[in-house]
Amino acid sequence: MDARSVIQAVRDGHGLTPEAAQWFAKGLASDTVSDAQAGAFAMAVLLRGIGTPGRVALTQAMRDSGQVLDWDMPGPVIDKHSTGGVGDSVSLLLAPALAACGCYVPMISGRGLGHTGGTLDKMEAIPGYRALPGIEALRRVVGEVGCAIVGATGEIAPADKRLYGIRDISGTVESIDLITASILSKKLAAGLDGLVLDVKVGSGAFMARPEDARALAQSLVETANGAGCKTSALITDMDQPLGLYAGNALEVIEVMETLTGSAISGALWDVTAALGGEALWLAGLADSAEQGSERIDAVLEDGRAAEVFGRMVAALGGPADFVERYPDRLPAAPVMKVVEAPRAGFVSSIDTRAIGEAVVHLGGGRLVGTDKINPSVGLAEMRMIGEALGRGEPLMTIHASDAARADAAEQAVLAAYGFSDDAPDEPPLIHERIGA
């Protein structure tokens, strides 16, 4: 077998066999497949598709191109993946909540991508937290605490890392086949018993159209189950930010307020409970997703999830008293500016992508890969669709490194908000469930 024959088979519509997928993934990982051949393969997949069997084969092959973790735990090993959103800090709530319910959660996460926030960037806002501790530390912390939110090492799915870079420069990022294999190869390399997926749809999502989000969710669920991992997906709304805060340290504050009960972010809680309910049902720890959601509610309410979060932070190098002292431990921006509503009326629409871009330009995300993130900046206490405001009332508060960036962010967020005289329909938090 050689690269040319694999590419030709896909190009001619014959799909991708497990043997061809294994050969090609090994070639990607070992550099015996050239960049030109990898680009040709990606383009052939984009144009002709490889169907569910091909997606399963490619996912498993890229998973097997590096280290695949195995676990000997007294409970199920479960994880969650989100396709990316704004003000979406569900992972920080869900990992300790699932652990408090008896799951083991090796949550291998990523950094911000484009206008969307990254789980690792949020965790690194906590002083001392080691988001890249290595595989052995991951094993230790998951075993001792029940969860660990960390980043992937080069040992995990190296074929995907290579193909991911090729897709970015070859115009093949949009392929659902390749997106599916990329997401799942890394997740399944963590040795999971079950996986719940949060597929975003709306103005702040990579899949803005419902039909695109549904196609991706179905592809992910079919492929993951075909690869032997129990999986379901929720399609959740991103026509407005999920939380009231956007920005790394600010989102950690919102999470800690919710975990400790000092201020509850309702939408963030509800999506966490819904995804957690699915996960517990998949894991066999609840008779239904609804019963699972009730268990998530309980550990959030009684402080057990907060206790697990604090132990995880301490185990990965953060402050031992973080849960009790988080306002003192997190960085704060020197400039705060209140944005006032330009007119009286109801918030009728939010360009969520523009909100995310405003955070990036404040320094809370990366314009280029080498940019260093400022964890303290962002947007706080954002008003949501359906809320009534008088002219001059606070729309949100900008946290910035200087006045010039605050002024630029003010213009950006004002342009992102629409107002109406009549109360609009509020978008649902959860649009659809996709199951096996």
For residue 139, the one-letter residue type is R
What is the domain count for the chain?
3
Are 179 and 318 contained in the same domain?
Answer: yes
> What distance, in Å, lies between the first and last C-alpha atoms of the chain?
34
Number of neighbours of residue 18 by Cβ within 10 angstroms = 14
Q: Does any domain span residue 356?
A: yes
The reported pLDDT for the residue numbered 113 is 67
Q: Give the pLDDT confidence score for residue 334 in this predicted structure.
A: 97
C-alpha triplet 233, 239, 245: angle, nearest 5°? 95
Shared domain for 345 and 203, answered yes or no, is: no
Whether 248 contacts 254, CB under 8 Å: no
pLDDT of the residue at 1: 87
Question: Based on the domain organization, do 107 and 140 belong to the same domain?
Answer: yes
Q: At what angle do helices 248-260 and 266-282 cross, to 10 degrees?
A: 70
Boundary of a domain, candidates 298, 325, 352: 325
Among 13, 32, 63, which residue terminates a domain? 63
The beta strand positions in 72-204, using DSSP E, are 78-82, 105-109, 147-151, 194-201
In a domain? residue 146: yes
One domain for residues 184 and 247? yes
Residues 187 and 132 in one domain: yes
Residue by residue, pLDDT tens for the chain (436 residues) are 899 999 999 999 999 999 999 999 999 999 999 999 999 999 999 999 999 999 999 999 999 999 999 999 999 999 999 988 999 999 999 999 999 999 999 998 877 667 877 899 999 999 999 999 989 999 999 999 999 999 877 788 999 989 988 887 788 878 999 999 999 999 999 999 999 999 999 999 988 999 999 999 999 999 999 999 999 999 999 999 999 999 999 999 999 999 999 999 999 999 999 999 999 999 999 999 999 999 999 999 999 999 999 999 999 999 999 999 999 999 999 999 999 999 999 999 999 999 999 999 999 987 766 778 999 999 999 999 999 999 999 999 999 999 999 999 999 999 999 999 999 999 999 999 999 6
pLDDT score, position 111:
74
Question: Is residue 240 domain-shared with residue 109, that is, in the same domain?
Answer: yes
DSSP element (H, E) containing 135? helix 135-145
Quick one: 82 and 49 in the same domain?
no
Q: Note the pLDDT of residue 358.
A: 96
Rounded to whole angstroms, how far apart are CA atoms 279 and 281? 5
User: What pLDDT score does 369 carry?
Assistant: 64
380 falls within a domain: yes
- The pLDDT, as a whole number, for residue 153 is 78
CATH of the domain at 351: 3.90.1170.30
CATH number, domain of 144, equals 3.40.1030.10
Same domain, yes or no: 58 and 120 = no
Determine the pLDDT at residue 168: 73
163 occurs within a structural domain? no
Question: For residue 161, what pLDDT is reported?
Answer: 87
Active site residues: 79-82, 119, 167, 182, 186-187
- Taking the C-alpha atoms of residue 282 and residue 101, their distance in angstroms, rounded to an integer, is 13
- Domain assignment present for residue 148? The answer is yes
**Residue 425 within a domain:** no
pLDDT computed for residue 59 by the predictor? 97
Domain of 52 in residue numbering reads as 3-63
The token pair at 209 is 């159209």
Residue 189 and residue 108: Cα distance in Å, rounded?
Answer: 10
Instruction: Report if residue 433 sits inside a domain.
Output: no
pLDDT at 218: 96
Q: What is the pLDDT of residue 202?
A: 95
The answer to whether position 434 is within a domain reads: no
- Shared domain check, 317 and 206: yes
pLDDT digit string, tens, across residues 321-337: 999 999 999 999 999 99
Where among 40, 63, 86 does a domain terminate?
Answer: 63
Find the CATH number of the domain harbouring 22: 1.20.970.10
Q: Which of 253, 242, 251 is nearest to 204 (CA)?
A: 242
Please tell me whether residues 97 and 206 are part of one structural domain.
yes
pTM score over 0.85: yes
Residues 176 and 262 in one domain: yes
Whether 346 and 233 have beta carbons less than 8 Å apart is answered as no
The verdict on 176 and 97 lying in the same domain is: yes
- Tell me, what's the pLDDT at 116? 77
